[in-house]
């Protein structure tokens, strides 16, 4: 469904807060996500006060797209609140939602909003008549990274990308690519397109873009699972980025932080805006700001405009949600979860994002997220 734009959302002003290192999180095989009670006083970290409520081990899993953002939040939070151990396992959006629905985690991360059947299933886990809701917490571009010897500036459009990832364009010197890059000497190197092997909200967002911006060339329904023919698969955004980085002629899709972290060149998109649009935090903020909240009854799911032709608006964007019960959360983890998510949604937590290739959620949306986190029960 294409968005009829009304008022643009005002983007959150980004502060400059350096993230000096990333916390290495371990995958947890236990189903125990309990925490012991007890509150600690507020402590200052990352430029803002963090309310340290709850102690023990808080388990979460899901989107690998937001892993680097969660790492930064966890580092700052645990410096202020050492009695709470937060373990986030980047299993992918599909797996994270399933673990949440099985009661294995306190919350999940997903790059696409919950489906109706998933909301219905959540009523088995969310007690007291509660249900799972979407809390938009991280934004940013899905970069198209490529590795092509001698080519450092590449422009593609939705139609060409659709044909590349559906194995209909197989060589880098194809006429369609040449037409978009008349001043670039393109080699006859074979294209090796990498996609996610796991169910992924990043795949869902990327294929939604292809389906809406090039419907004649991408006839598959958008989904977390890859549906097109051919290509090569890799697990997680990190796996796709690693394979692109190591393979001449490769192309893949992943969050901008994986491109910058691996020094991978990214495609500029011809959206019909006049000038090709680069995958940057600022340009993705312009794209996210064109979105709107479409969730109801306390849910904050957003609808994005993947077909925008506005100058400087990068259209392959995703919003990553934290998934939690609106009420009926496990009492053992409730206070710690609210404390951590409250920090992530705070001004200080959002200011962490731009330094590592993510876009803060627009001001008018993140304000509603903060209010909703406060009411979780």
Contact present, 319 and 284 (Cβ < 8 Å): no
The per-residue pLDDT for range 243-293, each reduced to its tens digit, is: 999 999 999 999 898 999 899 999 999 999 989 999 999 999 888 887 889
Q: What value does the mean pLDDT take over residues 78-93?
A: 93
- Confidence category of residue 367, pLDDT binned at 50, 70, 90: very high
Which is higher by pLDDT, 157 or 29? 157
Q: Identify the architecture of domain 141-286 in CATH.
A: 3-Layer(aba) Sandwich (3.40)
Q: Check residue 34 and give its pLDDT.
A: 34
The per-residue pLDDT for range 175-197, each reduced to its tens digit, is: 999 999 999 999 999 999 999 99
Contact present, 328 and 321 (Cβ < 8 Å): no
Contact present, 98 and 263 (Cβ < 8 Å): no
Q: What value does the mean pLDDT take over residues 224-233?
A: 94
For residue 170, the tally of other CB atoms under 10 A from its CB is 13
Compute the distance between CA of residue 63 and CA of residue 201 in angstroms, rounded to an integer: 7
SS3 286: helix
Worst-scoring range by mean pLDDT, 22-36, 160-174, 290-304?
22-36
H helices present in 15-107, as ranges: 67-80, 93-101
Q: Please report, in angstroms and rounded to a whole number, the separation of the first and last CA atoms in the chain.
A: 33
- Confidence category of residue 20, pLDDT binned at 50, 70, 90: very low
**Domains of the chain by residue range:** 141-286
Which is higher by pLDDT, 271 or 22? 271
Compute the distance between CA of residue 65 and CA of residue 93 in angstroms, rounded to an integer: 9
Q: What value does the mean pLDDT take over residues 14-23?
A: 30
- Residues with Cβ within 8 Å of residue 97, at least 6 apart in sequence: 62, 108, 110, 114, 118, 323
Q: Check residue 291 and give its pLDDT.
A: 83
- Confidence category of residue 49, pLDDT binned at 50, 70, 90: low
| Residue 278: both structure tokens together | 């680069």
Q: CA of 175: how far to CAs of 180, 186, 187, 247, 323, in Å?
A: 9, 10, 12, 23, 44
Summary mean pLDDT of the chain: 86
């Amino acid at each position: 469904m294409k968005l009829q734009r009304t008022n643009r959302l005002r983007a959150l002003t980004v502060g400059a807060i350096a993230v000096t290192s990333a916390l290495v999180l371990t995958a947890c095989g236990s189903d125990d996500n309990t925490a012991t009670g007890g509150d600690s006083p507020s402590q200052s970290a990352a430029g803002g006060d963090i309310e340290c409520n709850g102690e023990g081990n808080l388990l979460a899993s899901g989107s690998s797209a937001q892993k680097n953002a969660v790492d930064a939040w966890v580092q700052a939070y645990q410096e202020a609140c050492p009695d709470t151990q937060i373990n986030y396992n980047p299993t992918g959006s599909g797996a994270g939602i399933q673990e949440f629905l099985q009661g294995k985690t306190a919350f999940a991360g997903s790059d696409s909003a919950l489906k109706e059947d998933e909301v219905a299933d959540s009523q088995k886990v969310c007690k007291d008549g509660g249900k799972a809701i979407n809390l938009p917490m991280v934004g940013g571009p899905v970069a198209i990274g490529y590795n092509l010897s001698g080519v450092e500036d590449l422009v593609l459009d939705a139609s060409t990308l659709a044909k590349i990832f559906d194995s209909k364009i197989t060589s880098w010197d194809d006429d369609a690519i040449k037409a978009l890059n008349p001043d670039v000497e393109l080699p006859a190197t074979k294209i090796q397109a990498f996609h996610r092997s796991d169910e992924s909200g990043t795949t869902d967002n990327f294929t939604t873009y292809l389906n809406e911006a090039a419907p004649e060339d991408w006839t598959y329904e958008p989904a977390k699972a890859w549906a097109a023919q051919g290509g090569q698969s890799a697990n997680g955004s990190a796996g796709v980025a690693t394979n692109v980085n190591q393979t001449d002629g490769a192309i893949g899709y992943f969050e901008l932080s994986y491109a910058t972290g691996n020094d991978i060149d990214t495609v500029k998109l011809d959206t019909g805006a006049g000038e090709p649009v680069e995958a940057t935090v600022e340009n993705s903020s312009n794209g996210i700001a064109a979105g709107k909240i479409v969730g109801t009854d306390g849910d904050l799911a957003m609808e994005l405009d993947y077909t925008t032709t506005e100058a400087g608006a990068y259209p392959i964007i995703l919003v990553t949600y934290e998934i939690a019960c609106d009420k009926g959360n496990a009492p053992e983890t409730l206070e710690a979860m609210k404390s951590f998510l409250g920090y992530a949604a705070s001004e200080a937590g959002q200011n962490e994002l731009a330094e590592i290739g993510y876009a803060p959620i627009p001001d008018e949306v993140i304000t509603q997220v903060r209010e909703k986190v406060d009411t979780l029960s």
